[in-house]
A and B are shown apart, each in its own frame.
Chain A
Amino acid sequence: MAKLTLADLRKMREEKQKALDMRDSSNKDVQVVVGMGTCGIAAGAKETFTALIDTLSEKGLTNVLVRQTGCMGLCHSEPTVEVVVPGMPTVIYGHVDAATAKDIVAKHIVGHELIEGKILDKPSVDIVKNA
């Protein structure tokens, strides 16, 4: 990959923006939050994060906000990913490896279907206040 400058980035962004404007993009109403505490990092949350960005980018989804947070209090099931989609229950998934991250995008966000076997129980109330 060629070394980019910040000016190159601005130019690429404008080009991408033009391509995106042609699509019918609604506002960012979907949120994906990756737990990136010591526990998450040790369990591979960075790879999960990368897989999420790659898959969202491949599918051209522009309405998704991807964020990081610290430990969600579910260290036993890291990497954890919280997914908020309007009209669906807010879910925290556990043991989210790269393959599950792809499933989250394809099944949960696009297909509006929960992924069996990966949903954690009600999260720790002291940490996740609005669960």
Chain B
Amino acid sequence: MHASLSDIVADIAANSIEAGASNIRVSVVDENGTIELKVEDNGKGMPPEIVARAFDPFYTEPGKHDKRKVGMGLPFVKQTCDACGGSVKLESRQGVGTTIVCTFQADNIDLPPMGSLPQAVLSLFNFGGDFDLVFIHRKNGSGYEISRLELMDAVGGFDSVEGLSLAREFLEGQEESL
């Protein structure tokens, strides 16, 4: 399984980018003893037969990798949710998009640490393409929301190390203020 919840965020939201989504919304809400992670996208979606197999570690999207027979992304998510008294729900419609909602009990002893959300979000923002990704983090009444395209505009793009450093400084500042 992944070492931190932010690894899970980075992993499942990357699926949305790979699914060709132009709008992605990722939220992490830590309130009332439950952590909810939700990723919604308007990507290509999946037909019911693929949704049915999405949590099977010995299934991967055909054509993605020639000889590879495993796909660990969603199975890792399910493993963590199951271990932490939570659940995972996947809804997808072909040509419309996909939504995945994962919950974890915040005080569960098996809950992985949150890890660095700024690192996770920045690595997602830094994928190529002109998609927008809105990241929302809410924790006990306070929170922040940031759009990839707005941040990209503010720092002058993520093509440069300066832009990436500024963006990381921004994200870390937002996290610290929670």
Residue ranges of A at the interface with B (Cβ–Cβ < 8 Å): 1-4, 6, 9-10, 12-13, 16-17, 20, 28, 34, 36-39, 41-42, 44-47, 49-50, 53-54, 56-57, 61-62, 64-71, 73, 124, 126-127
Contact = CB atoms under 8 A, between A and B. Distances in A.
A69 B177 CA distance: 30
Given A1-B173, A127-B65, A38 B162 contact: no
Interface of B: 2-3, 6-7, 10-11, 14, 18, 65-68, 71-73, 76, 115-116, 119-120, 122-124, 126-128, 150-151, 154-156, 159-170, 172-174, 176-177
B67 to A, nearest CB: 7
A65 B161 CA distance: 7
Given A4-B173, A126-B67, A53 B10 contact: no
B173 A3 contact: yes
Contact of A41 (B10, B165, B166, B176): B10
A1 B174 CA distance: 9
A38 B155 contact: no
A64 B11 contact: no
Given A38-B11, A53-B164, A66-B126, A46 B159 contact: no
Given A9-B154, A46-B7, A4 B169 contact: yes
Contacts of B68: 73
Given A13-B162, A47-B119, A70-B18, A1 B156 contact: no
18 contacts: A1-B173, A1-B176, A13-B155, A16-B162, A17-B156, A34-B123, A38-B73, A42-B7, A49-B126, A53-B165, A57-B162, A62-B161, A65-B160, A68-B124, A70-B14, A70-B18, A124-B65, A126-B65
A41 B7 contact: yes
A44 to B, nearest CB: 8
B65 A71 contact: yes
B161 A36 contact: no
Contacts of A127: 65-66
Contacts of B2: 41-42
B119 to A, nearest CB: 4
A80 B72 CA distance: 18
Contacts of B65: 71, 73, 124, 126-127
A3 B176 contact: yes
Contact of B162 (A20, A44, A68, A73): A20
Contacts of B119: 46-47, 49-50
Contacts of B151: 6, 9
